[in-house]
Amino acid sequence: MKTKILQALRQNQDHYVSGQELCEQLGVSRTAVWKAIKQLKEAGYLIQAVQNKGYHLLAVPDILSESEIASQLHTKWLGKSIRYFDELDSTNTEAKRIAEEPGEDDWHGTVVVADMQTAGRGRRGRSWSSPHGAGLFFTILLKPEIDPENAPMLTLVKAMAVVRGIHQATGLQPQIKWPNDIVLHGKKIVGILTEMSAQIDYVNHIVVGTGINVHHREFPEEIAKTATSLDLEMQQTGQNSEISRAQLLGAVLEQFELYYKTYLQTQDLSALMEEYNDMLVNRNANVRVLDPLGEYEGRALGIDRRGQLLVERDGEQVKVSSGEVSVRGIYGYV
């Protein structure tokens, strides 16, 4: 009920919503509405109540809760189930637990969100700084009917959604560092980790986890020079930082739903490749490819329809689909 009240108040922010209207919309008593409004106020929402007028939402704190997140969603199927935790080991790990629960099969589109992760992970097992009240940590749980070999491209699809979602919510214009990082002014702001359970020709489930640095003011020493946050970047541009993590999540999920639909039509990036390359910080940049068979340097040209990075090396094009890529001017390049 709190979710529906928040949605009603947001949809009518230019005027008051009467208690009677809310009662009729929700099919509950005035006492039930009053109790829900009281709970919202206690959670930090600034709601003005005026006799004979009703309720008016004046201000919303940066709250993460199932009700707040649900009230910010504008998706058709993604986020139909929100699992929120104040503290969790890892949203990816929890999403995999959900997928593997006996008798549970209606979890496609579930989104797991945590205010804090105690064992947040990045690519290659690296840790991810996940303190309380600072970041947005969430995982999308999917069961697509695709060939398992096409699953890694979902990381790139998610990267596009994050770039568009951040721009929609903040006005900032981040870029993608192939294959799974989002950067602003040469510093990492987002990490994406995709994991899959599959058989030879069948996907059991895919989890796509994302960590966004939102309110971070400082970072662990080992990443202090290479990481940034939305708050810090908005300060640099002279903007007031009043970012709602729930609103940001809603924007990213909305964009992912759109890009995911396009991806499923071909199970590759042929329809998204041009737009992805426009977001790519690596494009036309000198790169160092850290290949297990030997490092080499070249010029990144963009991705192909399979999401492989095309690198021009000694006059020839090389397709990079594994290993790591470092970019001149971006963190990690020596």
Class of domain 283-327: mainly beta
The yes/no answer on whether domain 66-277 falls in CATH 3.30.930.10 is: yes
Cα angle vertex 182, ends 233, 328, to 5°? 95
Cα-Cα-Cα-Cα dihedral sign, residues 177, 182, 183, 187: negative
- Helix (H) / strand (E) element for 297: namely strand 296-303
CA proximity to 139, closest of 124, 121, 152: 121
CA proximity to 69, closest of 7, 8, 129: 7
Cα-Cα-Cα-Cα dihedral sign, residues 111, 115, 121, 123: positive
- Neighbouring C-beta atoms of residue 97, cutoff 10 Å: 13
Q: What confidence score (pLDDT) does residue 334 get?
A: 42
Q: Report residue 34: phi and psi, to 5°.
A: -60, -40
Q: What confidence score (pLDDT) does residue 333 get?
A: 55
Q: What confidence score (pLDDT) does residue 128 get?
A: 53
- Please write the tens of the pLDDT for every residue from 131-146: 788 899 999 999 999 9
Which residue ranges make up each domain of the chain?
2-59, 66-277, 283-327
- Tell me the residue type at 294: G
d(CA 236, CA 39): 37
pTM metric for this prediction:
0.86
Class of domain 2-59: mainly alpha
Q: What confidence score (pLDDT) does residue 147 get?
A: 95
d(CA 140, CA 118): 19
pLDDT under 50: residue ranges of the chain: 124, 334
CB 178 within 8 A of CB 324: no
Number of H helices, E strands in the chain: 9, 14
Q: What confidence score (pLDDT) does residue 332 get?
A: 65
